[in-house]
Structures are given as C-alpha cells and as structure tokens.
Amino acid sequence: MAQHVHAQSSAATLDPPVLGAGQDYETITEAVAEIPLGKRTPFGWIVGFLIGLAGLGALQLAIGYLLLKGVYIWGNNVPVGWAFDIINFVWWIGIGHAGTLISAILMLFKQQWRMSIARFAEAMTIFAVACAALFPLLHTGRPWLAAYWLFPYPNTMGLWPQFRSPLIWDVFAVSTYATVSVVFWIVGLIPDLATMRDRATSAVKRKVFGTLALGWRGSARHWHRYEVASIILAGLSTPLVLSVHSVVSFDFAVSVIPGWHAAIFPPYFVAGAIYSGFGMVLTLAIPIRHAYRLEHLITMKHIDNMAKVMLATGLIVAYGYSMEAFFGWYSASFYERFMLWNRMTGPYAWSYWLLIFINAGLVNVLWFRKVRYNLKFMFVMSLIVNLAMWLERFVIIVTSLHRDFVVSSWDMYSPTKWDFMMFGGTMGLFLTLFFLFMRFVPMISIFEMKTLLPEAKVHVPHGHGDGHGH
C-alpha cells in the first residue's frame, strides 16, 4: 500500500515535502505521542476547552427549555416550517464530509499528504455528525418518541416507518455514516493506542491505553488483515460519503417546492459539503500545527493541497448556482422564475449576493500561490468559506419557502434567541469534544506517518514473497 513510496520524491521540485526534513521513527512518535501522554496541559488548551464548555452549557440550556416549552420557541413557522434546524443540520453534516474524503477517498488514491491530517479530520467528522444529528432529532419535539417513526422496529402500535420518504432515507444514511465513521476511526487508532500503551509512564495510562489497544502487537499477520480491513473500509466509505449528502439533498429535491425541486442537487450538495469541510479542516489545522509545533508533520504542502481542493469544489458549487439560475429561467415555470427573482431581488437578496460574492468571486483568490501560502489569510478564508456555506443553506431553505405559491401565505422568517443559542451551543459541543480529543488521543496517525520515511521502504530479494496463495 501507500507506505512504500518515498516522501522525498518531490525534493527536487518546488513543492514542499509532505514530511519535514530530519525525521525518523522516534521523532515522529514523540511529536505526536507526547501531546496526550504529557503531564502538562497547555494554557491555550484550558482556555479553548472552557470556551467549549460554556457553549455546551448554553446548548444544554437551549435543549432544556426547548423540551419544556416545545418547538414554538424557535423562529420557524408556516410557511417557513424548516429553518435553523435544517440549515444547521446540513451545515454540520457537510463539514463532516471532508474528514471522510481525506481518510477514505484520498486513501484509495494513495495520496500521502492525507496521512497527517486524516485522524483529526475524521474526529471532526464524527463530532460534526453528532452536532448535526441533534437538530432533526430535537425538531421532532419529543425526541424520545421519534423512534416510533424513524427506526424500523416492531412497536406495540404496529406502526412502520414510511420508507418512501427521503426523511427516512436520511435516517438510514446519516446513522450508517455516523456508525461507519466511528468504526473506521477506531480501527485506525488501534496501532497508535498500542504505541501509547508502550510509551505511557504511569500505570493508569498504561492500563487505559492497553485496554483500548485490545492487545495489538504489530505482528505481520495482524498488519496484513489490518491493511486489508482498512482498504475495505475506505472503499466502503467512499460511496457512503457521496451517498450521504446526496440523500440529504433528496430531502429537498424530492419535494415540489420551487428552488428545491432540481436534479442538480445531489452533486451540487456533495461538492458544497467537501468545500465547507475542507474549510473546517483548515480552520482546525492552522492553529493546531502552530500550537503543538507540528509544522514538520502538517506542512505547507497540506495547506496548499487543501486550498486547491477548496478552490475546485468552490467552483463546482458556483457552477451549481449558475445552473440553478439557468434551470429557473429555462423551466418556463412561473413559480420557478419568481423564486429566482425573489432570491435575487427580494427581502433576502443580501444573503444571496453575499453568497455569490464569496463562492463565485472571492474563492478565486485561491488560484494564487502567494495566497495559498499565507497562513493568516488562509485561516480567515476558511472561516469565510464556512460562513458562505451556511448562507447557502439559508438561501436554499428560507428564500424558497418564505414566498410560496399563494401570495396570502407569504411571510418573513427571523430566528429567535433560542435558535442562535442552540446553534452556538452545538459549536460548544464540537469544541468540547475536539479539545478532549486533542488532549487524550494521538491526533496524527503515528504508524502511517512512519511509512513516509525512506527507511520504511524495503526491498524483497528475488524468489521470495510470492503473495498469491489460497
């Protein structure tokens, strides 16, 4: 697999390497393993964790009050029956997609630069999916009753879910996505947990990591099965991640609402998901590599490549906008044309034009190498991209709904403080989980990074190593 390729093959070119100079097995292990094993907790970590906890507190408050009062405390009401709950759901789920793309799709393509960012990008996926799942679940009003019509199980009322509804497809897609992401992540962690076990100095840490490592000892037979399982999981995650956001887009595309009923939605949603996901990976990677001095593992090559993926997917999304406009006009449907006109000139036009400005205009600065290599700018850009992708969902959902077929039912939507508290709260949940992850889990795959070293490459004498057995 990918481990037998030289990291330094690009040394002669202008490209920065995927691994800094002067590294060996021990320095890589130490750089990553010392973060969770070290006794000292960095001050910045404590501050960040406390901010996360504050947000988590706000989330608990928002959920508690919601369960007490009901969903009327949110701003959504007819005709805008879906608003922050689904905007934030799609936004979070989309962010998660970059993690799977990095860990699975780029693994199949043998992209070495994925190795140092895959672990925490996948953690980002899992936490983002957890945040996303809260919204539709809580939008049901009484989430403990939602199981009756979300999950197929023989209940006493003899009811079964409506399998013809994209909302049920979404339940299957998102829960499968969450499960497979967690499984893939845990499998990827096992050898590194064994490294942590072997390097731990305290008995408690040794026991905890030892238990989690399941007895991993790195035998050739085990590595073989491990590598086969990893590539299968990557191969399964690839169609999965493409299907998840396609299914999310079906929630809209299968309906008859002008602005939603469009065949371009699945690919356009998937591209948007990867675009915002890479934005979030950059938002996380840029401060992490600086704070933990991991510049030799997460190099400028990684930042550069992620910026390029953002540029490509951003332009696909921009193409999606132009196609939406074209379809609206070409459909010759009065309602489609009105929706488009309303989106561009109506009361929410500011959100549409801001979105177009960022995703079709500003994103083009990433064509320039100087820009991609400017860390401060890339950090700001990653935040702007995520703002834009949030706006995209706002535009799609709110402007399509607020002026529908009958003029008498038109209305404006504005979120309440509980909407904002809930949304901010999920960011707190995400931050809390991510800071815990950074402190207690090796956030870069140690064993995979070692395979990038030239000394990890082996040569098998001729006549041996015929692997085609039975």
Partner 1 sequence: MHVSNEKTGLYGLMAEFDTAQGIVDASTKAVGAGYTKLEAYTPFPIEELNDIIHKRRTHLPKVVLFMAFCGMGTGFALQYWASTIAYPFNVGGRPLATWPAFVVPSYELTILFSALTAAIGMLALNGFPQPYHPVFNVERFTTASTDKFFLVIEAEDGRFTKEQTGAFLQGLGAKGVYDVAH
Q: Which residues ranging from 247 to 306 are in contact with partner 1 (CB under 8 A)?
A: 247, 250
Q: Which stretch binds partner 1 (CB under 8 A): 39-47, 206-214, 287-295, 386-394?
A: 206-214
Is 402 within 8 Å of 413 (Cβ atoms)? yes
Contact call for residue 5 and partner 1 (CB under 8 A):
no
First to last CA, the chain: 20
Closest distance to partner 1 from the beta carbon of 435 (Å): 26
Site residues for partner 1, window 436-455 (CB under 8 A)?
Answer: 447-448, 450-451, 455
Closest distance to partner 1 from the beta carbon of 239 (Å): 7
Is 442 within 8 Å of 35 (Cβ atoms)? yes
Q: Bridge partners of 77? A: 80
Is 136 within 8 Å of 85 (Cβ atoms)? yes
CA distances from residue 89 to 60, 75, 230, 394, 469 in whole angstroms, order as listed:
17, 16, 29, 11, 48
Number of residues interacting with partner 1: please give it, by CB under 8 A.
78
Of residues 155 and 322, the one with the C-beta less far from partner 1? 155
Q: Bridge partners of 80? A: 77
With tokens 């947990």, the residue in question is 193
Contact call for residue 409 and partner 1 (CB under 8 A):
no
Q: Which stretch binds partner 1 (CB under 8 A): 58-66, 226-234, 305-313, 371-379?
A: 226-234
- CA 52 from centre of chain: 18
Q: What is the 3-state secondary structure (H, E, C) of 136-147?
A: HHHHCCCHHHCH
Site residues for partner 1, window 104-123 (CB under 8 A)?
Answer: none
Is 66 within 8 Å of 73 (Cβ atoms)? yes
C-alpha–C-alpha distance, residues 270 and 250, integer Å: 12
Binds partner 1 (CB under 8 A): choice among 14, 220, 332, 407: 220
C-alpha–C-alpha distance, residues 142 and 129, integer Å: 20
Is 87 within 8 Å of 460 (Cβ atoms)? no
Contact call for residue 332 and partner 1 (CB under 8 A):
no
Contact call for residue 24 and partner 1 (CB under 8 A):
yes
Contact call for residue 377 and partner 1 (CB under 8 A):
no
C-alpha–C-alpha distance, residues 401 and 408, integer Å: 13
Of residues 213 and 339, the one with the C-beta less far from partner 1? 213
Of residues 96 and 191, the one with the C-beta less far from partner 1? 191
Site residues for partner 1, window 64-103 (CB under 8 A)?
Answer: none
Closest distance to partner 1 from the beta carbon of 461 (Å): 6
Of residues 251 and 392, the one with the C-beta less far from partner 1? 251
Token reading at 124:
């980002």
With tokens 């403080």, the residue in question is 417
Closest distance to partner 1 from the beta carbon of 102 (Å): 17
Contact call for residue 40 and partner 1 (CB under 8 A):
no
Residues 6+ apart with CB under 8 A from 271: 313, 316, 317, 320
Closest distance to partner 1 from the beta carbon of 134 (Å): 20
Of residues 32 and 438, the one with the C-beta less far from partner 1? 32
Token reading at 46:
């404590």
Q: Which stretch binds partner 1 (CB under 8 A): 83-91, 316-324, 346-354, 460-468?
A: 460-468
Binds partner 1 (CB under 8 A): choice among 48, 210, 277, 442: 210
Contact call for residue 232 and partner 1 (CB under 8 A):
yes
Q: Which stretch binds partner 1 (CB under 8 A): 13-21, 67-75, 109-117, 219-227?
A: 219-227
DSSP 16: P
Binds partner 1 (CB under 8 A): choice among 10, 111, 140, 176: 176
Contact call for residue 22 and partner 1 (CB under 8 A):
no
Cα 313–Cα 319–Cα 321 angle in degrees, nearest 5: 110
Closest distance to partner 1 from the beta carbon of 242 (Å): 11
CA distances from residue 227 to 2, 156, 218, 388, 464 in whole angstroms, order as listed:
10, 45, 12, 38, 21
C-alpha–C-alpha distance, residues 221 and 367, integer Å: 46
Closest distance to partner 1 from the beta carbon of 375 (Å): 30
Contact call for residue 179 and partner 1 (CB under 8 A):
yes
Contact call for residue 173 and partner 1 (CB under 8 A):
yes
Contact call for residue 457 and partner 1 (CB under 8 A):
yes
- CA 334 from centre of chain: 37
Of residues 23 and 399, the one with the C-beta less far from partner 1? 23
With tokens 């939406």, the residue in question is 324
Q: Which stretch binds partner 1 (CB under 8 A): 113-121, 269-277, 339-347, 457-465?
A: 457-465
Of residues 194 and 318, the one with the C-beta less far from partner 1? 194
Closest distance to partner 1 from the beta carbon of 215 (Å): 4
Of residues 206 and 439, the one with the C-beta less far from partner 1? 206
Residues 6+ apart with CB under 8 A from 191: 213, 216, 218, 226, 446, 447
Is 211 within 8 Å of 264 (Cβ atoms)? no
**Short-list 248, 299, 17, CA closest to 129:** 248
Of residues 207 and 369, the one with the C-beta less far from partner 1? 207
Site residues for partner 1, window 122-161 (CB under 8 A)?
Answer: 152, 158-161
